[in-house]
Amino acid sequence: MTKLIWTLLLVALTAMPASADTAEDLDKWFRGGYAALYVEKAWDHADEFAQYFADEIAYRSDDGLSLTNVNGFVVDSLGEWRSEGWLGTDVANLDARLLNATTAVFDVTWRDRNDDGSTELSCGWYLADKIDGKWLLSQYIAMPCSD
């Protein structure tokens, strides 16, 4: 009987997904990690962005599909945004969804803050892959914000 119980327990444990991540876990990972780097003086944290990205990032814009790395996607943009008066951004809305054990999506509305006191919304959709046990952002699509 004890063998049967242990066998059933072993089968149950091996049948469970390898990841215990939930949408709530993903929300915390995105807000508390990646998004937190943008809140204030993001240009001072440029080297930290790499821990959130896959080696290659695919992003879609009105110009089509482009492939780049974290420097091309985030770090190069920080200086440009800063020169335009951008101070930082906060997550205004986030919908994190686990599609399967190794794929998640993040539908994000950012509230950008500018040095003239203005704010503006920008929206995007991110895809993250779980690679070697770590979530990494691998795709981005800029999207119009809906009301």
Could you read off the pLDDT of 45-82 as tens digits, one per residue?
Answer: 888 988 999 999 998 877 888 898 888 888 888 889 99
How far from 20 is each of 33, 100, 112, CA to CA, in Å? 19, 11, 33
Q: Using CA atoms, how far apart are residues 13 and 129, in angstroms rounded to an integer?
A: 23
Q: What is the fold of 20-143?
A: Nuclear Transport Factor 2; Chain: A, (3.10.450)
What pairs with residue 142 in β-bridges? 124
The string of pLDDT tens digits covering residues 5-49 is 333 333 333 333 444 589 899 999 999 999 999 999 898 988 898
Predicted model pTM: 0.80
Q: Domain coordinates of the chain in residue numbers?
A: 20-143
